[in-house]
Structure 1
Amino acid sequence: MEALFYAGWDWVVGPFAEFAFMRRALVATLALSISAAPLGVFLTLRRMSLLGDALSHAVLPGVAIGYMLAGLSLPAMALGGVMAGLLVAGLAGLVSKFTTLKEDASLAAIYLVALALGVTLISGHGTQLDLLHILFGSALGVDEAGLLLVTGVATVSVLLLALLYRGLVLETFDPIFLNANRRTGWGSWVWQQGFLMLVVVNLVAGFQTLGTLMAVGLMMIPAVSARLWHDTLPAQLLNASGQAAIAGASGLLLSYHFDTPSGPTIIGCAGALYMTSLLVAPGGWLPRWWSTPHRVA
């Protein structure tokens, strides 16, 4: 029994205790779990679940331009990604305002063009390895600069979310009241743009560990899963962060022990938690089936 305990301890704790790169990856993943997953909850409540995916692809041209100008410089690529994400979101809003297209339709067209442009730029000015690193990230390769970026973004994001919480809740559930109530000071448009900025910044921070294609996974999958467990917003926010943290730590361990790509492994663990929630959560299949009256022949 004691031998089994120590074996389990070495398997779970050993990699983090022995290697600094594992500790950096764990801290970065936990920071993203705290800051990004709650934003995913708001996206699902606002029926904008696919917006995070679109914006995660839209940042790629900015990341590519930063790479072309400064190589694999994290600050340059992060700044380029933020500017590209905000530009795409703004263009989609303008298109929907001055044409008959809805914002989701215009965003879908623009982000696909942005994704193609970003891949073309990186492929023309870098190696295949650079392209894979930017698209899929490397949580186990996070350095001190990347860790500072992720933790800094997470800290600022959590503080801003706390400050904007009341307005975001009003804008999510009752935007008409928010616009009519002068005590809030700002209209719903300002709250929406501030929220989109938080989403973009978190996606850019996540590309260092999960890549531009996978960063949205840690934001959206735990958030969708959390809705199956709770009806209240605070509980969903905590649940989403908790599931993201569990998926991050589990994914890092599996990636280390079985030599698999860290980003996809983390998202795979989040997907496993989602599948489990679909079965056993209060809003999942088994509890609903159990509570449904069954006719006895």
Structure 2
Amino acid sequence: MLYDYIVGPFAEFDFMRRALVGVLALGVGAGPIGVLMMLRRMSLAGDAMAHAILPGAAVGFLAAGLNLWAMTIGGMVAGFTVAIGAGAVARATQMKEDAALAAFYLVSLALGVLLVSLRGSNVDLLHVLFGTVLALDDPTLLLIVSIASITLLVLAVLWRPLVMESVDPGFLRSVSRAGAPSHLAFLALVVLNLVGGFHALGTLLAVGMMMLPAIAARFWSRELTTLVWLSVLIACGSGALGLLVSYHSGVPSGPAIILVAGGAYVLSVLFGPVGGLLPRLVPRRHLEA
């Protein structure tokens, strides 16, 4: 019985195994990036950058249809353009960077939907907005796994400056010249992982696998390494459980995965030992001399 519910779908169906590999790769790559974004107070910026990918992907769609590399390159170009453009506007004017990102995000979302609608059908629009995690082919799966591998490699090389740039960028600039390269490398990793998430979950849900596990993990630990491991574990677990929920209930797989991650966040808010609601209600022993 337990086998039929948990192992059976992945053992019997090739598309479920592909989807599982895809969401596990997304969890491994996006989990640590989500933790760094949370440390930088850029949680909402991730959502804005995810939507910023849409116009580039739409241009790729107009040029070559649902072509993997055309949409990937278009999404990466659009993501980098918005990230760098918002930062440039914030530095050249009195506008805060979050407000600049919000403006770019709204324009990008509207422009992307308009471009897809010019040539594609409602099915194509749904594909771009919500992804097709149950229809991942070999090239798309290879792209997602490659992005996760590149992410882990860059994190291994630049972990210390990335963390320092997240916590105290002023100090990093005063003792090293690695500040600007680290920031650019971090933006590149964010865009890459959002592009990978876009192919599986669409532009509207791609950031969910990045931010929800990281935010949920924050209620269980204050130690950075533990946060990263917990974020990856929650992301991968949410992906696998979301696929099972989708398979057994017939609901769309992308929203199911993000809702499971949202459930992990709710449980963390309630029961997490670091700032959770219920542990705060439990009386603590007073310090004794």
TM-score normalised over the length of structure 2: 0.96
The alignment of Structure 1 onto Structure 2 pairs a total of residues equal to 285
Aligned-partner SS, 1:42? helix
Match of 2:279 among 276, 281, 287: 287
User: Aligned partners of 1:45, 1:158: CA distance in 2, in Å?
Assistant: 18
Q: Which residue of 1 aligns with 2:127?
A: 133
Shift of 1:219: 0.2
Task: Give the alignment of 1:88-107 within 5 angstroms.
Answer: 88-107=82-101
Structure 2: gaps (5+ residues)? none
Q: Which residue of 2 aligns with 1:55?
A: 49
Shift of 1:188: 2.1
- Asked whether the 8 Å contact 1:24–1:142 carries over to 2, the reply is yes
Task: State the Cα RMSD in Å.
Answer: 1.2
User: Aligned partners of 1:144, 1:128: CA distance in 2, in Å?
Assistant: 25
Q: Which residue of 1 aligns with 2:58?
A: 64
- Asked whether the 8 Å contact 1:58–1:88 carries over to 2, the reply is yes
User: Aligned partners of 1:21, 1:143: CA distance in 2, in Å?
Assistant: 9
Aligned-partner SS, 2:218? helix
Match of 1:108 among 102, 105, 108: 102
Please tell me whether residue 261 in structure 1 is matched to residue 252 in structure 2. yes
User: Aligned partners of 2:13, 2:92: CA distance in 1, in Å?
Assistant: 54
Q: Which residue of 1 aligns with 2:180?
A: 189
Task: Give the alignment of 1:107-256 within 5 angstroms.
Answer: 107-182=101-176, 186-256=177-247
User: Aligned partners of 1:121, 1:257: CA distance in 2, in Å?
Assistant: 35
The one-letter amino acid paired with 1:82 is: M
Identity of counterpart residues, as a percentage?
52
Cα distance per residue 1:53-79 (max 9 Å; x no partner): 000000000000000001000111011
The one-letter amino acid paired with 1:197 is: A
The one-letter amino acid paired with 2:108 is: A
User: Aligned partners of 1:56, 1:198: CA distance in 2, in Å?
Assistant: 12
User: Aligned partners of 2:135, 2:187: CA distance in 1, in Å?
Assistant: 28
User: Aligned partners of 1:107, 1:51: CA distance in 2, in Å?
Assistant: 7
User: Aligned partners of 1:90, 1:275: CA distance in 2, in Å?
Assistant: 34
- Asked whether the 8 Å contact 1:138–1:261 carries over to 2, the reply is no
Shift of 1:11: 1.0
Aligned-partner SS, 1:212? coil
User: Aligned partners of 1:76, 1:209: CA distance in 2, in Å?
Assistant: 16
Aligned-partner SS, 1:229? coil
Cα distance per residue 1:138-167 (max 9 Å; x no partner): 111111111011001111111111111010
Q: Which residue of 2 aligns with 1:38?
A: 32
The one-letter amino acid paired with 1:131 is: L
User: Aligned partners of 1:214, 1:272: CA distance in 2, in Å?
Assistant: 15
Q: Which residue of 2 aligns with 1:4?
A: none
Structure 1: gaps (5+ residues)? 1-6
User: Aligned partners of 2:140, 2:222: CA distance in 1, in Å?
Assistant: 36
Runs of 4 or more consecutive aligned structure 1 residues displaced over 4 Å after TM superposition: none
The one-letter amino acid paired with 1:274 is: Y
Match of 1:20 among 14, 22, 27: 14
The one-letter amino acid paired with 2:280 is: R
Shift of 1:250: 0.4
Shift of 1:187: 4.3
Shift of 1:190: 2.3
User: Aligned partners of 2:178, 2:224: CA distance in 1, in Å?
Assistant: 22
Q: Which residue of 1 aligns with 2:68?
A: 74
Q: Which residue of 2 aligns with 1:270?
A: 261
- Asked whether the 8 Å contact 2:56–2:75 carries over to 1, the reply is yes
The one-letter amino acid paired with 1:228 is: F
- Asked whether the 8 Å contact 1:221–1:274 carries over to 2, the reply is yes
The one-letter amino acid paired with 1:224 is: I
